[in-house]
Amino acid sequence: MPLRERLGRLRREPLVHFLLGGLAIFLFFAWRGTEADPASRTIVIGAPQVESLAGQFAQTFRRPPTAREIDGLLRDYIKEEVYNREARRLGLDIDDQVIRQRLRQKMEYLARSSVENAQPTDVELRKMLDANPARYASGARISFDQVYLGQIDGAEAEKRAREAIARLAKGVDWKQIGEPLSVPPSLERASVQEIEREFGDRFASELTGVKFRRAPAWQGPLASGYGWHLVRLRAMTSPAVPELAQVRQQVENDWRAATIEAREAEAYQTLLDSYDIRIEKP
């Protein structure tokens, strides 16, 4: 039976009539100017929500739901809504780290979503290719040392990097600085792929963008999947940069990842600027 016909039968169900009656009451009070209490004991399920539940069912089971199945979906949705409201009424959502993390993930997703389907121009991709030639040149080899600063935020990483560089300038052995980490402290003539396997894509991308100096110097901090690092680039051999057409997909993937990260950071900063932050230190 077609989904539209099933929805037509659904509209004749008593439960749906009850729910639509609730919607009418809700709209009446909205028209009267009475504010809707999000924690009220009126649950309104409109036709779009019913269609959404039916659509999710059809997507999962590859067929439209029967009237009885839609009835079950509505009962389950109502049960979830009742428990959700009562849990909030009891304050069970307060200081719950799982809920806080889930809400953060949703906000980050909203910040990123507008970039997911964006298409870069050739100019943008060429700029990224030119800025990181070693990343896309097959056969590139890099020798470097790294000091692990820890899994901390960016501001703390900057502070630790400055302190570590100051100690290194005084002659402290670099192997005695930083925190222990399971990955090697040095790599010799490593390919970009080998670096990615050890430290992750982001670290490899940032490392290939580090300016090579004939007199090796400590630079950073650079981010990896583990946290933050200082690096000392000792040698880098980069074959000729390939044509954009040869590595377009790889460059586009990197562009999208960088753009999404920048968009999320921009969105967060906009929200952060609207807050008055006060920290009471013990």
| pLDDT tens for each residue of 81-135 | 888 888 888 888 787 888 888 888 888 777 777 666 678 888 989 888 887 777 7
* pLDDT tens per residue across span 20-39: 555 554 554 455 444 445 45
Which among 236, 228, 114 has a CA at the least distance from the CA of 181? 228
> Which helix (H) or strand (E) segment is 33 a member of?
none
DSSP 183: S
Mean pLDDT within 210-223: 81
What is the amino acid identity at position 5? E
Check: CB of residue 47 under 8 Å from CB of residue 18: no
DSSP 38: T
Confidence of residue 15 (pLDDT cuts 50, 70, 90): very low
Question: Whole-model pTM?
Answer: 0.44
Mean pLDDT within 245-273: 83
CA 98/CA 265 separation, integer angstroms:
22
Share of the chain above pLDDT 70, in %: 81
Q: Enumerate domains of the chain plus CATH numbers.
A: 3-94 (no CATH), 95-133+238-266 (no CATH), 141-237 (3.10.50.40)
Return phi, psi of residue 133, to 5°: -60, -35
Confidence of residue 212 (pLDDT cuts 50, 70, 90): low
CA 102/CA 123 separation, integer angstroms:
37
Confidence of residue 12 (pLDDT cuts 50, 70, 90): low
